[in-house]
Structure 1
C-alpha cells in the first residue's frame, strides 16, 4: 500500500508486539520490550517494525515469516511490532531513543536517514541478487553509491475508470490532461462527481501534473526543481478541475480506498494496484486502468511507484542479526516475497525473477498495471520528506483554489522546500 496510507488510523487484528522465538509465538498482547530468548536459547532478540497494513492477513503473514526465520536461525528471536496510526511520526520519534527498532520499514525512501547515519548500508545483503531487483527499487534507495534499504513491495498508483459509464457518455478514456478535465466535467452530475483524487482535491495530482509536463520535483543533487516554468504551468492547470467542480471532496474514505469507485460515487478515481482484489469482484470486467495523462505534447503519461522498504538501524545493538533477517526474508525467500506481494492486496515484487512468477499479476488488468509501471513509473525523490512535500502540496492547493498569484506562491514554496532540503543534506 501507499506510504500515505500509514498516516491513517486503521484496525488490525491486534496492536502491539509479538515475540517469536525458536519458531513459536510467545506473547500475544501489548508489552514492554521483552528481554526474551532465555527460554529458547536465543542470544539475540530483534525488534522488527511494520506499519498497520490494512489488508486482511498481512499481520499474520509477518508473524509466519518471523516464525520461519527463527526456525532457520534459532539463536535469533524476533519481536514483530505492529504500529497503527501515524506510523511515520512514531517511527521517527522512536529512532531518537534507545527503544528504536532493529529493523523497520519505510514508505517513500528518506535520503536523510542515510546521511544522518541512522540506517546501515546493505550492499552486502544484496550480494549477487542486486541485478535481479528492478531499477526503480535500487535507484530509490541509493545514496552516494550505496544501497540503504531492500525494497519489499512496489505499490503502483494509477487511474481506475468505469468502462460502461464512459462508454454511455461517449467518452474515450483520456490520454491528455485536457481530455481528463473534459471527461471529469462531462461525467459530473447533480448526484455524482466525475473524478476522485483525494479528499483535499489534490492528492497526488500536483506531483503527477508536474511530471507529466516534463518537470521534476528535486534534482539528484538536491536542488528544488518544481519552480520551473513547466511546473508552474502544470500546477496552474489543476485550477480547471476545481473551477469545474468536478472533483469529489470529503468522502468517507480517502483516495487509497476504492470505496467511492466501487460504490459508483465516481466513474474515475486515482487509487492503487493494492485495491484491485476489492475492485474486481465488485465490478467484474467493467473497469480499466490508465496512467495519469500527459499534460500536453512534450510531456508523458505517469504512474506513481511507491511501496515499502526494509531498513536496518545502524545505531542498534544487533546490526549483524538485523542484516541477516533482512537478507533472509527480502533477498533469499522468493516464495515469501511472492506471497506478500500477491496475497494481501496486489503489489509488484521488486525482484524481476519473483515478479515473473506472480501469477495473479500476469493477466488482465493487473498485468496492464504492471506494464504501465514499467513504462511510465516515477518515484518521489529521497529528499521528499514531510516538510518539503507539505510546502509543495499546500501551495498547489492554493494555486488550484485561486488563492493568490501562482508564480509568487510557487517561488515562496521553492524557498521553503530548499531550506528543508539543505538541512537534510547538511548544507
Structure 2
C-alpha cells in the first residue's frame, strides 16, 4: 500500500537533448490515421475557462505535427468524469487515455499500460519522485500524475489585525486565536469542514499535523492510532466543544461552503488549497497563508493531492499514445495548465521553472510544501471504500456525544475489511 496525491502536469526532454525514445518503440509502427480517445476532467468553473480550451489548443498543436494521428477529447465535470470512464470500461469500450481521480482499480484489473512502456525515459524520470511513487501498484507505475496541490492555513488579515493576532504555529496558538476571533464576533473563528464533500482532506491535514496519518511507515492503515485519536480528541474538546468552529456542525459543513464563507469575510482561519486565493481575491478579502500548525510547531508534513492520467491497453496504439503523452508532459504544456488553474506542476522541470518565475510567486508557498507532502493511499484499491467511509463517518467523531476513539476504530475496521477483500 502506498501514499498518493492529486494533480496534473507535463514533462520535458533532458538537458542532454535526448529525443524522447519511447519505452515501447517508434511512433510509426506501420499504422496511419489513428484516432486516440481521451476523456478528461474539467478544472474550470464556467464555459469561459473550461479545460476544453486547454485541450483544444494542445491537440491542435500536436496534430499539426502528426497528421496521421487524431486526438478525440471529451471533457466532463468532476461530478461525472469518473462515472463516464467506468461506464465505458464496463461496456468493453474504454478510452485510450483517461485523466481522472484514481487509477488503482483499473491497474489491478490489468487494463492499463505500464508507464515505463509508454513514456520516453526523460519524461518518466521528470515526474516528482513522491508523485511517481504514488502512481505505483506493487512497485510498478501505472498512474501518471496530472495535476497536484498542497494545503496551507489561510487567515483573514483584517480580522487578525482587529484581534491583535499573529498567525499561529501550534495547535494551542490556533485555539487561542480562535477564542480571540470568537470574542470579536467572527462567525467561524476556525472553519472545520468535515462534511461529505471533502472530509478526507481536512481529516488527513489534521492527522498529519498531529504526527499521524491514514497509514504507518509500512503503509498499513493506522486510522485508529494513538496519535490520531489524540488529534481528534483535541479537536472535539478544544475547538468544536468550545464553539470555535462556527454555527454549522463540522460534519455538515462542506469545503465549498467553508471557502465561500471565507470569501465573504466570515471565517478567521481554515485550511485551503491554491484555488482559494482566487476565490477570496475576487471578493476583496485580504488573506495570509502560513504552513499548517502542528502540536509543538509548524507541521512537518502537509497534505498533497494529485489527479491522474492513465492509458488503457484495450485498443492498442501504445506507441501513438506514448508519443502524445510525451508531448502532454512537456515543460511548456505542464506550466500552461498549472498556471491556468492555479495548480502545481507534477514534474521537476516545470516545478523549477515555476519556482524561478515572478509570475508564479503566489503559488510558491504551495510549491515549497510539495516535496514534503503526504498523499492519499490511492495506489491501494481499498482506498475508494475507505475514502467513502471517512466522508460519511468522520464528522461524528467531533459531535457533542461523539467518540473519537470509537469513530476512528470503526473506520480502521472498515479499512481492514477492505484490505482483506482485495
Same fold (TM over 0.5): yes
Distance in 1, Cα, partners of 2:167 & 2:316: 54
Compute the displacement of 1:413 (Å).
Answer: 1.8
8 A contact 1:222–1:421 mirrored in 2: no
- Say which of 51, 65, 68 aligns to 2:61: 68
Structure 2: runs of 5+ lacking an equivalent: 8-30
| 1:166-315 correspondence to structure 2 within 5 Å | 166-188=160-182, 190=185, 192-198=187-193, 200=195, 202=199, 204-219=201-216, 223-240=220-237, 241-248=239-246, 249=248, 254-255=255-256, 258-280=259-281, 282-283=283-284, 286-296=286-296, 300-315=299-314
Q: Deviations over 1:134-174 (max 9, x none)?
A: 22221111223322122222222222112232122122211
Distance in 2, Cα, partners of 1:114 & 1:269: 36
CA RMSD in angstroms, aligned pairs only: 3.0
Compute the displacement of 1:110 (Å).
Answer: 4.0
Distance in 1, Cα, partners of 2:404 & 2:389: 14
Corresponding residue for residue 323 of structure 1: 322
| C-alpha distance 255-310 of structure 1, shift in aligned 2 (>3 A) | same
Compute the displacement of 1:233 (Å).
Answer: 1.1
Compute the displacement of 1:362 (Å).
Answer: 6.1
| C-alpha distance 266-113 of structure 1, shift in aligned 2 (>3 A) | same
Compute the displacement of 1:361 (Å).
Answer: 6.5
- Say which of 377, 380, 405 aligns to 2:376: 380
Q: Deviations over 1:223-243 (max 9, x none)?
A: 321121111111222213222
Distance in 2, Cα, partners of 1:145 & 1:157: 27
- Say which of 349, 352, 360 aligns to 1:353: 349
Q: Deviations over 1:153-196 (max 9, x none)?
A: 22222221122321221222111122223323332355621123
Instruction: Give 3-state SS (helix, strand or coil) of 1:356's partner.
Output: helix
Corresponding residue for residue 136 of structure 1: 130
Distance in 2, Cα, partners of 1:91 & 1:347: 23
Compute the displacement of 1:340 (Å).
Answer: 0.6
Q: Deviations over 1:81-103 (max 9, x none)?
A: 11122333333333222232210
Instruction: Give 3-state SS (helix, strand or coil) of 1:267's partner.
Output: strand
Structure 1: runs of 5+ lacking an equivalent: 5-40
Q: TM-score, normalised by structure 1?
A: 0.79
| C-alpha distance 198-339 of structure 1, shift in aligned 2 (>3 A) | same
Distance in 1, Cα, partners of 2:207 & 2:358: 29
| C-alpha distance 391-277 of structure 1, shift in aligned 2 (>3 A) | closer
Corresponding residue for residue 51 of structure 1: 41
Q: Larger relative CO (CA 8 A, sep 6+): 1 or 2? A: 2
Distance in 1, Cα, partners of 2:278 & 2:72: 30
Corresponding residue for residue 116 of structure 1: 109
| C-alpha distance 292-93 of structure 1, shift in aligned 2 (>3 A) | farther
| C-alpha distance 82-389 of structure 1, shift in aligned 2 (>3 A) | same
Distance in 2, Cα, partners of 1:67 & 1:351: 23
8 A contact 1:255–1:270 mirrored in 2: no
| C-alpha distance 135-257 of structure 1, shift in aligned 2 (>3 A) | farther
Q: TM-score, normalised by structure 2?
A: 0.80
Distance in 2, Cα, partners of 1:279 & 1:42: 49
Corresponding residue for residue 155 of structure 1: 149
Distance in 2, Cα, partners of 1:272 & 1:115: 31
Distance in 1, Cα, partners of 2:139 & 2:411: 30
Distance in 2, Cα, partners of 1:403 & 1:135: 43
Distance in 1, Cα, partners of 2:341 & 2:36: 27
| C-alpha distance 360-86 of structure 1, shift in aligned 2 (>3 A) | farther
Compute the displacement of 1:283 (Å).
Answer: 4.0
8 A contact 2:155–2:270 mirrored in 1: yes
Would you say how many aligned residue pairs link Structure 1 and Structure 2?
380
8 A contact 2:208–2:302 mirrored in 1: no
